[in-house]
Amino acid sequence: MFTDFISLADLSRAEIEDLLDTADDLKRKQHAGEVYQPLRGQTLAMIFEKPSLRTRVSFEVGIFQLGGLGVVLESGQIRLGQRESVPDAARNLERWVDGIMARTFSHESVVELAEYATVPVINALTDKLHPCQVLADVQTIREHKGEDFSKLKLAFVGDGNNMYASWLNFASRIPMNVALVCPPGYEGDPEIYAAAKKDTMGEFTVTQDVAEGLADADVVYTDVWASMGQEEESADRIKAFAPYQVNADLMAKAKPDAVFMHCLPAKRGQEVTNEVIDGPQSIVFDEAENRLHAQKAILLRLMNRGDDGLCPKARARRTNGATA
């Protein structure tokens, strides 16, 4: 059983499917008006180095709906690795809270938090990965396209960024066809790509040809061309990515029943046009809703205590300590 949520590549297929089934169940409970609070009295520290709408609201509402409390720590308050070391921050927080969620620039900050904290740590976004978003995306695709991902093709149009990397991690556990459609020089992290190809029976392709990448696509996915921290590259990126804008002509190259997805926020008129994001093929706001349910599933699996009063991470550390 996983004890932190850092990368989808750390989980087995069975663990990912369990999270998805749990997210579906939690969604049904909420829509039925059922009060379900297994995390009553527990507290989640929420570290934000980057601005956030969906992550902050969905985690804060999610821990509240499960009976707990979210404590927001913004960048100026905590300054990981600057005001004090990441290990020291972890050792302090573990004395007060039952879980830590972190949205940071550096991926290593989240890895260090997980290494040194005795409470579970959730990667809510780093420059390298965004596993929470992909878990919600997968829940959304299952709702619209069914559960057999081996028959699906996702065309990721744009930068091979942290979103694309997390899609590779997912597809290395539950095989599907993932095609990156991008200009030269934006192919993403070669180590993540190589590891995913080694670990999966799915098909991964990278192409500069829009028609080739979109052919037979069931899902068309895009993201902003310049992520947070890349603002100084905006002018060059706009020029490079202009031929890859998701508009009606590009969508027409995918299957007629293809759905459009975007992790949001979107820069309308850049990576996607209004006619697509507001059109009948768009499921972007279903994705946004499912951030709440998918993340509640993560919180439940990581923070819920068993009959021994321990969460999975504390139980694993006690067991490992006993056998050491």
Annotated catalytic residues are: 103, 130, 133, 223, 263, 291
The Cα–Cα gap between 172 and 12 comes to: 10
Closest-CA residue to 171 (of 13, 293, 298): 13
The alpha-helical segments, DSSP class H, found in 66-220 are 75-78, 86-93, 107-116, 131-145, 162-171, 190-199, 210-214
The Cα–Cα gap between 84 and 102 comes to: 16
Closest-CA residue to 81 (of 105, 46, 45): 105
Bridge partners, 43 (sequence order): 69
Token pair, residue 178, equals: 């993932």
Contact 133, 265 (CB under 8 A): no
The Cα–Cα gap between 268 and 125 comes to: 22
For residue 143, the tally of other CB atoms under 10 A from its CB is 14
